[in-house]
Amino acid sequence: MYRHVLFDIDGTMIDSEPYYVECLNEVCRRFLGHSPAAEAVRRCFAMNSHDALHALGVGTHALSEAVALYDALCFQPDKVPVCPGIPTLLSALRRDGARLAIYSARFAYEFEQDPALTPLLPCFDEIICVGPQPSKPDPGGALDYIRRHRLAKDEVLYVGDSHIDSLTAQRAGIDLAMCEWKRLCNPQRYPARYYCSRPEQILSIWQENRRGLCMAEG
């Protein structure tokens, strides 16, 4: 069944939420004079930076400056760790024949500027990001990927961690493995096909799925 695996980044492959939430709060303090409600900031964390800061109250006239400050705060060396087990998972999936792509709400320039992503990018064949594609939860990026690679929807597994990822998977009609290994856990469980507390469970899902496919083809 599964042939391709799409990975979200923030909260899925890198443990960025605690630090990036601090950065969002700092930008809001400077531009709004206060920190928004904690739950509002957490929900906006899953959005791209422009949409997040606008949703938190930064006006259009100041948005570019606010995003620039947010980027400067976020993209510091050694601030955001890769989630334990992710490099091993990516290597194992590639060895087992998976084609891997990043599916993110980030903009293209962020992949060049964020040092936290440097060790991960060589593992991926493609990056689906905002700009060329609409931002999640619009499923356009996933649907375009499926079309270009001539895939059936049941050949794609999406790995994510947020309500945005859940909505995206539902609208695209693809299976979602919901990650539950980040430090700041979701306050509720969002709809998904699978729930995983450790990265190695993704590999087990992949291998069990592939065994079922081989038995069906045999």
> Model confidence over 169-180: pLDDT tens digits?
999 999 999 999
In this predicted model, what pLDDT tens digit does every residue of 126-163 receive, in sequence order? Answer: 999 998 889 999 999 999 999 999 999 999 999 999 99
State residue 48 phi and psi, 5-degree precision.
-70, 160
Helices (H), the chain: 17-32, 38-45, 49-55, 60-74, 86-95, 108-113, 140-148, 163-172, 200-217
Per-residue pLDDT at 201 exceeds 60? yes
Per-residue pLDDT at 107 exceeds 50? yes
Q: Rounded mean pLDDT of the chain?
A: 93
In this predicted model, what pLDDT tens digit does every residue of 45-59 receive, in sequence order? Answer: 889 999 999 999 999
> Distance of alpha carbon 87 from its chain centroid, rounded?
15
In this predicted model, what pLDDT tens digit does every residue of 3-36 receive, in sequence order? Answer: 999 999 999 999 999 999 999 999 999 999 999 9
SS3 171: helix
